[in-house]
Amino acid sequence: VLLEALNGSTTAIVTGGALARVGRASLVAVALAPLVTIVTFDVFYWWAGRLWGTQVAELYARNNPRAARWIDRAERLVRRGGIWTLAVGYYLPVPSALIYLSCGVSGMALGTFLLGDLIGLLLWEAMLISLGWAIGQPAVHVVNAIGHYSLVVTVGVIVLLITVGGLRRRRAAPDRTAR
């Protein structure tokens, strides 16, 4: 649940649903934890679109035809759908960041943006939490195994980096015994 609150990742939300299913987390906490983090990031994209949206779009579209198509598609979606585009934005085959930038470029009010984003986020979260709830205990076992082995691998990588750094520094140091 803490990981959900810190980064709001899809994996963390699904895991939170599984933990709620087995009684190791509150379903309400799992649902509320990622809201502030995710909405905050989305607002920054909206704000960036408000400030620099057209310049950024022109910069990307100038050298990349695929980016130009994605930007055009996102702008058309926002013009046609407005708040409803945000409500279903998590399910659309367009990067969400482009939709949020397009909302800023289009002049959508912050309150309208927040409402549409919150509706879409709650719909997306409900699906992910339901997936975790449906998987249940097997997902908890997988997460525990990943957690265990990731700690071992992380410690191993740190030891390896320190060792390699020490060896490189030792090789790079001038030979003082030759004097």
* Contact of 6 with 37, CB cutoff 8 Å: yes
Q: What is the pLDDT of residues 105-144, one digit of tens each?
A: 888 899 999 999 999 999 999 999 998 888 888 888 887 7
- Other beta carbons within 10 Å of 100: 27
Structure token pair of residue 69: 């198509």
pLDDT by residue for the chain (179 residues), tens only, comes to 887 888 888 888 888 899 888 988 888 988 888 888 888 889 998 998 888 877 877 777 788 888 788 777 778 888 888 888 888 888 887 788 888 888 888 888 999 999 999 999 999 999 999 988 888 888 888 877 887 788 888 899 999 999 999 999 888 877 666 55
Q: What is the pLDDT of residue 178?
A: 56
Q: What is the pLDDT of residue 177?
A: 61
* Contact of 130 with 100, CB cutoff 8 Å: no
Q: What is the pLDDT of residue 119?
A: 93
Residues belonging to the chain: 179
d(CA 178, CA 172): 15
Q: Which residues of 109-147 are buried (b: 16+ CB within 10 A; e: fewer)?
A: eeeebeebbbbbbeebbeebbeebbebeeebbeebeeee
- Other beta carbons within 10 Å of 25: 19
